Amino acid sequence: MLCQNCNKNVATFFYTETINGKTHSIALCDECKAKHDHAKHYNEGFGNFFQEMMFPSSLFLSNAGPSFTSTVRRCPVCSASAAEIKSGKVELCRECYNFFKEDISSVLKAIHGSAKHVGRTPSYIKTEESPAKGNDRPEKEISEVKSEENEYEKLKKELGIAISEERYEDAAILRDKLKELEKEDNYEN
């Protein structure tokens, strides 16, 4: 589903809010979520922030700010959440593997006792043990598959550190980089 603020990007964050005892749900994209986090950090007040977002003003007339009861990150393609994947209630889509990398690792460990592949690699990928065997096609090095993953993981870690150190400008840059990688990686990894 689309972000309910900008109506342009796919929503990846789903909020449930309770304002004066009434519960409302809002779906936001990464960008609008970042704006929201920024506003929250500088105490700009949720009321203003959401009003800027052109949600029905009646939602935010109250002076009492909304209290967040949950934030659910959802796959931008199939809308599955990590909890749903962990429970085995929903089927994965191809993007879930990129979007929920860490959650998927923990589920894989629970199922298989391991999250690391030790079997064969496709014949057209060159590894230390064996040369590539695809005759009619360009060869790939195993490091090519690895390096993309490492870059993603590295940026993710840096983003975590930046947020914990409250370096929000750096975090925004890192988040954009990650988004770029996710886009490139979309259906390719």
Partner 1 sequence: MKTNDKYCISSRVRLARNVNGLPFSDRMTDEEMISLIDKVKGALGNEYTYINFPSLPKKKKLSYVEMHIVSPDFISSKKRNALFMNEDKSVAIMVGEEDHIRIQALVRGNDLKAALSLATKAEELIAKKIDFAFDATYGYITKCLTNVGTGMRASVMMFLPTTLNDRSISAYSAELARLGMTVRGVFGEGSASIGDMYQISNNVTLGISEDEIIDRVEKVVDSLSKKEEEHENALLLSAKEALTDKCMRALGTLKYAHMMSSKEAQTLLSTVRLGANLNIIDVDKSYLDTAFENSFPNTLSLLSSEELNDDTSRDIFRAKYLRELFEADHVSK
Q: Smallest distance from the beta carbon of 61 to partner 1, in angstroms?
A: 41
Contact of 185 with 152, CB cutoff 8 Å: yes
Report d(CA 26, CA 5) in Å as an integer. Answer: 9
Beta bridge partners of residue 68, listed in sequence order: 17
Q: Within 10 A of 68 (CB to CB), how many other CB atoms are there?
A: 12
Residues that bind partner 1 (CB under 8 A): 77-78, 91-95, 97, 104-105, 107-108, 111-125, 133-137, 142, 145-146, 149, 187-189
Q: Smallest distance from the beta carbon of 97 to partner 1, in angstroms?
A: 6
Report d(CA 58, CA 87) in Å as an integer. Answer: 37
- Of the pair 57, 123, the CB lying nearest partner 1 is at 123
- Of the pair 112, 183, the CB lying nearest partner 1 is at 112
Distances (CA, A) of 92 to 5, 78, 88, 179: 27, 8, 9, 20
- Of the pair 90, 163, the CB lying nearest partner 1 is at 90
Q: What is the DSSP letter of 94?
A: T
- Of the pair 6, 77, the CB lying nearest partner 1 is at 77
Amino acid at 90: V
Q: Smallest distance from the beta carbon of 96 to partner 1, in angstroms?
A: 10
Q: Smallest distance from the beta carbon of 35 to partner 1, in angstroms?
A: 30
Report d(CA 1, CA 99) in Å as an integer. Answer: 16
